[in-house]
Chains A and B, each alone.
Chain A
């Protein structure tokens, strides 16, 4: 079979280039935020993140060592040193000794100092000052350099957002709150839905078809409708706003997809297997726990990933059912929205906070993509 990427080499090139273009288009926004989270506030606001990936030319004002470090060599007073530390790897293109003419000289040139003596600066920033008389004063000479500096990144933002307890920008608490919401809200619906899915797939009872149709219908009911009635309900029965309420809400909202996915999968298991087990005298409960559950692992994993991503990334349900006036139970998505409001310009905090929250789903995504794809294919109503 040959198709668009088939026989014609020119067309194949077009295909490759278009895919590269699309991938770049899709990755760049995320990459921008990721790169920004490793830059300082000054760097972010002074230049675009894409510049930080390449060496950048900067004008710096540096100072030689103080005269007190001078040494006497063969009758000459000498001050020697390096303008950059060994790991900075700067390349100097021009330098100068006067603020009015900062790029007067080339690296390696030897020039007269105004207060007597000579100075030379090489391309990597080593300098040598020589004088037949003693250098005086208590500060070193100013040296202006135009240098190309390698990209520079920092982990300070993550330190501040994750580890600094006193910082008001701390995400550590919200991180654990999110985790606390997510794990029970993922595990409990799976269990409840698995039993129901088994009944809908392999047990005969009147009204089964109707129930399945109802599940398909509820699949698309917008959860917006549930906000007020259920908040009222939670307040009435005394749960109020809190973890229990948000766990129950996520369990309810995840239920249609869970039942739908699991039922479809279980209905596809071989009939003989279940009939044989029944003939051998296994109870339905045993068939379910010993046979169906282990065999349904792929479908269980698919749904678990969906539910995990959805509960981890959720903002609305948490805002309505969990977060109270004290803000003690805030989740990461809500913290980020707050930061967007109060620190809209502080990209180093925003970018880092966002990446802390994005990181976990991305790991899950790349580790379990196979199951996610499988679930998507089974879950879209055909």
Chain B
């Protein structure tokens, strides 16, 4: 059977299975288990209404529990154990963590991740805010925004290919085909640079790829927030003689502070998970390792599930403050 046919069949089975489950389980509840008539009609209706939400929720909860909640616990367990040759696991306490902490590659990944965490959210948010503000009042603003938003649709892998061409280097005597080197030579650079192999700075060339992708996201959200600012505050500032920069930094930015924070944290999470860009462009060579790629290396190249899981827990730990913050905000909003 061809995969395409298999795919169609899966859609059919999946969709009809879902609909069938919801329909039949509701029918069963109303017709068989607690029919809303007969001697206990009132009690039955109440009981049916208590159970029904869980019928609606069950498949989703099962998926959430199995694919997201259980792995957190299981990864924690794996990070504290070691595979015994021949099968089974042995409790090793924090050995995996101390082994990881002894590896220079891990600290290289941590150091790079810290730079990623500062540079990418900051630059994406700043560029996003800049574009949102600049395009707010010009007639072709929507067109400009849609072009800057476009990289959002491009895969990290596709973006890696796009930027590898930008960073391409040819020997000095040839014409440069990477635009960065062509500009570099044009503005008086002596030798063409292989940008991705220059230690320390090469990480920043990888970050640019993610900034390029994430700016559109920041722009869309911040642009909506800017439009939501009450006009009276700005009119009042103009009457008081504020100049455009004062209006922007002293009136507008403070009013969209929470949105900026939301954008910042959302991009932070994306950064912590970034894998494809590093994997495709340098694969962690030349001191560009990051946590997610380090973890992939450990899990699937070194086949070391203990240390791999330990590094995954480090990522989880870094995400945890944002998770708590989000949950608290969501609860506050619902009250």
Contact = CB atoms under 8 A, between A and B. Distances in A.
Contacts of A27: 147, 150
Contacts of A191: 14-15, 18-19
A205 B273 contact: no
A1 B177 contact: no
Interface size class of B (residues with CB under 8 A): 35 or more
B262 interface: yes
A184 B11 contact: yes
Given A22-B148, A377-B220, A253 B7 contact: no
B78 to A, nearest CB: 6
B32 interface: no
Given A225-B75, A351-B161, A373 B147 contact: no
B316 interface: yes
Contact of B262 (A224, A347, A382): A382
Interface stretch (A87-95, A101-109, A142-150, A226-234): A226-234
Contact of B57 (A189, A199, A361): A199
Contacts of A6: 137, 244
Contacts of B315: 222, 224-225
Contact of A217 (B4, B10, B19, B326): B326
Contacts of B244: 3-4, 6, 11
B225 to A, nearest CB: 9
A33 B319 contact: no
B305 interface: yes
B329 interface: yes
A26 B15 CA distance: 40
B162 A347 contact: no
B277 to A, nearest CB: 10
Q: Which of B144, B161, B221, B235 has the most CB of A within 10 A?
A: B161
Contact of A365 (B70, B152, B308, B323): B152
Contacts of A2: 238
Main secondary structure of the interface of A (DSSP, over half): helix
A47 B175 contact: yes
Contacts of A195: 18, 22, 56-57, 59-60
B276 to A, nearest CB: 5
Contact of B75 (A184, A228, A320): A228
Contact of B14 (A187, A211, A313, A350): A187
A90 B19 CA distance: 65
Contacts of B11: 183-184, 187-188
Given A228-B309, A337-B280, A5 B59 contact: no
B327 A357 contact: no
A64 interface: no
B26 to A, nearest CB: 5
Nearest to B12: A184
B148 A228 contact: no
Interface string A308-324: 01001111100110000
B74 to A, nearest CB: 4
Interface in A193-236: 193, 195-196, 198-200, 203-205, 208-209, 211-230, 233
Nearest to A196: B60
Contact of A221 (B133, B138, B323): B323
Q: Which of B19, B49, B330 has the most CB of A within 10 A?
A: B330
Main secondary structure of the interface of B (DSSP, over half): helix
A179 B22 contact: no
Interface in A326-360: 329, 333, 336-337, 340, 347, 350-351, 353-354, 357-358
A66 interface: no
B32 to A, nearest CB: 15
Interface string B42-57: 0000000110111011
B67 A226 contact: yes
A48 B182 CA distance: 8
Contacts of B136: 3, 5
Contact of B10 (A1, A213, A244, A249): A244
B88 to A, nearest CB: 13
Contacts of A18: 134
B241 interface: no
A205 B146 CA distance: 43
Interface stretch (B90-98, B100-108, B163-171, B199-207): B163-171
Q: Which of A11, A228, A283 has the most CB of B within 10 A?
A: A228
20 contacts: A2-B238, A19-B131, A19-B134, A44-B177, A48-B176, A49-B165, A179-B4, A195-B18, A216-B326, A256-B68, A284-B52, A285-B23, A285-B26, A309-B153, A312-B155, A320-B300, A333-B158, A336-B161, A369-B146, A373-B220
Given A32-B179, A208-B53, A315-B157, 16 more contacts: A6-B244, A15-B137, A23-B147, A47-B177, A195-B56, A199-B53, A200-B57, A218-B69, A224-B295, A225-B72, A229-B70, A284-B56, A340-B280, A347-B165, A353-B161, A381-B329
- What are the 4 tightest A-B residue pairs by CB atom distance, in nearest-first order? A252-B67, A313-B155, A196-B60, A365-B153
